[in-house]
Each structure stands twice: as structure tokens, then as C-alpha cells.
Amino acid sequence: MLHITIISILIVVAAATLFKPWVGAVAYIIFSVMAPQTIWYWGFEGIRASLILSAATFLSLALHVVMGNLSLSVWKSKQNALVLFFWGTILGSYFLGGFPPNEMSAGNLNSAVLLERYNKIFVMFFLLQPLVTDVRIVSYMVWALICAFGYYTYWANLQYLSGDMFLHGLRLGGPSTPLYKGIYADENLFAMLFVMAIPIFYFMAQENKNKIVKIALYLLIPFAWHGVFLTGSRGGLVGLSIVTLHIVYRSRSKLLGVLLLVGLVAAFIDQGGDADATAQAGRTNEICLGCHKTA
């Protein structure tokens, strides 16, 4: 039933994209960030959802450019020139570098796999630009991101409260398939999801006039902090600190900004734990896992 529902939704979205190209842009963004194929993997089996969305979006862009409804002039900017230069350095490093590409089986370490991912990111970056030129569409995209970030904030804290995260170790990674595949399976990547989410929660709360929505967005922030702590990512903690300092600097309410900073320090003291105790717990956990594997 889930399989049929997903196919039906993809067909509707692809059809709507042909008439309203921005629908494909918003759908692709939320699909890329949400990665539902790793959450409900049994329903997405055999479905190339990402390919369907990107193909429909590309076809719609080409059709509306030919019809004169869309312009590609948005590509003419210094930012895009710098992005192209950055893309070129990556390609040059891969094909002209002094060291051969790393062909390790792990996807996150395989140079060819990583290059393919980077190429898709850059292609979609340029493809979506002509489709997202209206402030209203940008708003739809931001709220789609908030929904995805909000779900993962809920999911991470649920894993902790239910105790499920401790079945796989002391560090929380994102959802993954039975074969441990998932774009957030690595704890450091999962931490960066929350680092990106927090400023969006904060600044959208600042701009929103609805008090209930404003309070809900503010309340998501400490739970997103907790999500970073659960990953045990040192890079995530550095990113979280920088993001919080930036929020304090940019905040229109300095009192609220300072309260956030104090709250982060208090949360770190409470959640950080003792380094020696954490290391010892990690060693104990590895031994226990080894015993289970041996058994």
C-alpha cells in the first residue's frame, strides 16, 4: 500500500511540475534533505524517486524556457562564477591530482562515489535557480526545510527517550536501511543537519507574526541542540557554537540572544559529560558489541 501511495504522489508531483516548475524545485529540496527512502525504505524499494523528480524538473525548465516563461539570466552572477570555479577545482583534483582516486568500498571514502554526489549537487544548484526567483516560492522552500528539520529533531530526541539509540552504540546517527545505508548514517553528517536547522528555526521565529508558530520554532532550538549532543560530533559542536554566536550577534533582541548563548553553555555542561568516563563507556560498548558478534 505504501509503495502504491509513493508512486501516486510522485506521479502527481511530476505532472504538477510540468505546469508549475517551482513544484519540482520544492519537492526535490525536501526529498534531498528529508531522505524518506532511508526512513520508509520498504516503500521506496525499486523506485528512483530522486531521478523522477529531477527529470520532471529539468523537462519543465526546458519547456518553460522555450515558451518564454522562464529566463536563464539568473545564472549570470559573480556567485555562480565562484561556484563554477569551485566545481572546477574539484574536477581538477579528481582527474589531474597527484594521487590516484581512492576506490575504497565505503561510499563516503570512495572518490568516484563522492564525485558523482558533488556533480549532482552542482547540477541541481544551477537547475533550480531559474525556478526559485519569487519570494513566495522561497518561503515555500524554507517551510519545507523547516518541516524536514523539525521531523529529524523529533526523531533524534525520540531515539534518546525511547532508548533505541543505545542499541547501536553511544553516538546517534540518522535513519538507515537494514544495510546501514543512509545519507545521515554518519554521526558527523547528522550533527550538521541540526547545525543548519537551528538558524532557520531562530530567524523564521523572529520574522513570524503568529505567536504559536513563533513559540514552536523557538522550542525546537534546545531539542536541536540536544540532537547535536546525541551525535557526539566534535565538529558538530564547533559548528553549533559558531551558529549560536552568530545568532547572538545578529539578534534584534540582545537579551534573547544572550539567553540562547547561556542556555547552550548550560546544556553543554549538562550533556557533555566527562571525557574519561565517555571514553571508558565507549570501550565497554565496543567490548560488548564484540561479544555479541562472537556469540
Q: Please report which confidence band the pLDDT of residue 106 belongs to, taking 50, 70 and 90 as the band edges.
A: low
In this predicted model, which residue has the larger pLDDT, 268 or 139?
Answer: 139
Using left for φ > 0, alpha for ψ between -120 and 50, and beta otherwise, residue 189 falls in alpha
Compute the Cα dihedral for 40, 41, 42, 48 and give only its sign. positive
Query: Where do the domains of the chain lie?
Result: 1-70, 71-132, 135-283
Cα–Cα nearest to 160, from 252, 103, 228: 228
Q: Please report which confidence band the pLDDT of residue 293 belongs to, taking 50, 70 and 90 as the band edges.
A: very low
Asked if residues 46 and 83 have their Cβ atoms less than 8 Å apart, the reply is: no
Q: Give the number of other CB atoms < 10 A from CB of residue 202.
A: 23
The radius of gyration of the chain from alpha carbons, rounded to an integer in Å, stands at 21
Q: Please report which confidence band the pLDDT of residue 103 belongs to, taking 50, 70 and 90 as the band edges.
A: confident
Residue 281: is its pLDDT beyond 90? no
Nearest-angstrom CA–CA distance, 142 and 161: 28
pLDDT at residue number 294: 40
Average pLDDT value for the chain: 83
Residue 183: is its pLDDT beyond 90? no
Contacts of 285 (CB under 8 A, 6+ apart): 169, 170
Asked if residues 271 and 232 have their Cβ atoms less than 8 Å apart, the reply is: no
Question: To which residue does cell 524536514 refer?
Answer: 148
Model pLDDT for residues 214-263, shown as the tens digit of each residue:
999 999 998 998 899 899 888 888 888 888 888 888 777 667 777 777 77
Instruction: State how far the alpha carbon of 139 is from the alpha carbons of 25, 148, 200, 257, in Å.
Output: 12, 14, 12, 24
Q: Is the pTM value of this prediction over 0.75?
A: yes
Residue 290: is its pLDDT beyond 50? no
Residue 173: is its pLDDT beyond 60? yes
pLDDT at residue number 46: 82
Mean of the pLDDT values across residues 67-75? 89
Dihedral angle over CA of 47, 51, 53, 56, nearest 10:
-120
pLDDT at residue number 104: 67
pLDDT at residue number 186: 86
At position 170, the amino acid (one-letter code) is L
Nearest-angstrom CA–CA distance, 204 and 212: 13
Model pLDDT for residues 30-47, shown as the tens digit of each residue:
898 888 888 888 888 888
Q: Please report which confidence band the pLDDT of residue 164 belongs to, taking 50, 70 and 90 as the band edges.
A: confident
